[in-house]
């Protein structure tokens, strides 16, 4: 009926007299009438809801800050456009995958942390716009959008920084729980390539895989010789590494330099402050969300790939190695 038209002000052409409209509005207010959103959604086939899919909801404190920055960006962009955000876990039971495609979402924001992209492929068959928050790999379906970061440039900046300081042999640390995150692999590969291109040395035995608490540090330090800098794949693991170094009595950066990725305000609270490559996660999340909304509302909009710039924040955890030769 025309009640609908009045209440939602679809009055491009006035179809009810102003008096009638006023009456309708008054009655609606008196009854505290609220349109049922379920009925509307069913009718319009839209929900104004975005599913944010995590491969894992952070249980360990490491990715908490990443997760929060991301969510902060997503929610503010979504709310500004009157969209709601529903949190999903891609791994809960087989039926729950269907729950991603049963009409409840207008689009998905996929926070990828593993290389298993079976569900992601399902998503590309459902006609749902998807934005993936991760690097695009060759095995990803073509109709998704991607928001990523200059991992290569960041790895090069780290390599150059260490080389300038006079380091010659370094190690790269990945977290056990991140081993299947394409971004972790990429960073390692990019860094190794960059480091060697600068004439640096990195041995296979120095590609380390540590638990998320970095408790392996002490044992590693006992038996290692010749490595003067540690490049750690993420900020959180780097922070844990600093802590373990302190417990072990290793002075950073005098005895060992440490660099991380994903630099954030947390890096200013460690001691020494952590040198790290900065990833603007919140801005990336805002961009991803806005782009997703655009794809939802203008179905013509094709998939896109956004790559955000990296900046190396040099703080206190890197220095010349003890027996440094002349730098480059």
Interface ranges with DNA (CB under 7 A): 1-5, 7-8, 10, 13-17, 20, 33-36, 38-40, 42-45
120: enclosing H helix or E strand: helix 118-125
Q: Which is nearer to a copy of itself, 143 or 224 (CB)?
A: 143
Q: CA-CA distance, 140 to 146, in Å (whole number)?
A: 10
- For residue 263, give Cα distances in angstroms to 148, 189, 202, 294, 298: 15, 20, 23, 29, 35
Which of DNA, a copy of itself, none does residue 124 bind to, with CB < 5 to 8 Å depending on kind? none
Of 89, 85, 94, 95, the C-alpha closest to 59 is 89
Q: In the complex, what is the shortest distance from the CB of residue 71 to a copy of itself, in angstroms, rounded to a whole number?
A: 7
Give the number of C-alpha atoms closer than 13 A to the C-alpha of residue 189, restricted to the C-beta side: 7
Q: Answer with the entry of a copy of itself, DNA, none that 84 interacts with (C-beta below 5 to 8 A by kind).
A: a copy of itself
Q: Pick from 79, 176, 226, 327: which binds a copy of itself (CB under 8 A)?
A: 79
Contact between residue 109 and residue 289 where contact means Cβ atoms under 8 Å apart: yes
Residue 57 near which of a copy of itself, DNA, none (CB within 5-8 Å, type-dependent): a copy of itself
In the complex, least distance from residue 84 CB atom to DNA, rounded to whole angstroms: 16
Q: Is 143 in the site for a copy of itself (CB under 8 A)?
A: no
Closer by beta carbon to a copy of itself, 90 or else 185: 90
* Residue 88 within binding range of a copy of itself, rule CB under 8 A: yes
- State how far the alpha carbon of 145 is from the alpha carbons of 105, 137, 220, in Å: 17, 12, 40
8 A C-beta contact, residue 54 and residue 20: no
Q: Quick check: 158 and 312 in contact, CB under 8 A?
A: yes
What Rg value do the Cα atoms of the chain yield, rounded?
25
Stretch that binds a copy of itself, among 102-110, 152-160, 214-222, 252-260 (CB under 8 A): 102-110
The residues binding a copy of itself (CB under 8 A) are 34-39, 41-42, 45, 47, 49, 57-59, 61, 64-65, 67-69, 71-72, 75-76, 79, 82, 84-89, 92, 96, 98-99, 101-104, 239, 243, 246, 264-266, 268-271
């Amino acid at each position: 009926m025309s009640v609908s038209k009045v209440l939602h002000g679809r009055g491009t052409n006035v179809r009810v007299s102003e008096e009638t409209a006023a009456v309708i509005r008054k009655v609606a207010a008196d009854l505290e009438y609220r349109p049922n959103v379920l009925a509307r959604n069913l009718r319009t086939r839209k929900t104004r809801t975005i599913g944010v899919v995590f491969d894992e909801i952070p249980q360990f404190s490491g990715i908490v800050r990443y997760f929060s920055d991301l969510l902060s960006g997503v929610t503010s962009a979504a709310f500004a456009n009157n969209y709601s955000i529903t949190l999903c876990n891609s791994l809960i039971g087989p039926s729950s995958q269907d729950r991603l495609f049963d009409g409840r979402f207008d689009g998905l924001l996929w926070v990828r942390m593993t290389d298993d992209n079976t569900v992601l492929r399902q998503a590309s068959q459902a006609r749902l716009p998807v934005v993936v928050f991760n690097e695009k790999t060759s095995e990803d379906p073509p109709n998704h959008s991607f928001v990523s970061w200059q991992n290569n440039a960041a790895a090069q900046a780290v390599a150059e920084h260490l080389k300038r300081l006079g380091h010659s042999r370094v190690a790269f640390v990945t977290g056990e729980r991140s081993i299947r995150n394409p971004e972790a692999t990429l960073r390692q590969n990019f860094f190794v390539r960059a480091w060697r291109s600068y004439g640096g040395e990195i041995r296979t035995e120095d590609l380390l895989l540590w638990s998320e608490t970095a408790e392996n540090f002490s044992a590693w330090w006992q038996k290692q010789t010749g490595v003067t800098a540690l490049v750690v794949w993420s900020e959180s693991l780097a922070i844990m590494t600093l802590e373990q170094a302190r417990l072990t009595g290793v002075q950073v950066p005098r005895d060992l330099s440490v660099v991380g990725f994903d630099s954030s305000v947390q890096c200013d609270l460690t001691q020494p402050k952590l040198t790290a490559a900065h990833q603007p996660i919140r801005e990336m999340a805002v961009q991803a969300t806005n782009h997703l909304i655009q794809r939802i509302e203008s179905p013509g909009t094709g998939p896109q790939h956004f790559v955000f710039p990296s900046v190396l924040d040099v703080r206190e955890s890197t220095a010349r190695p003890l027996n440094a030769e002349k730098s480059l």
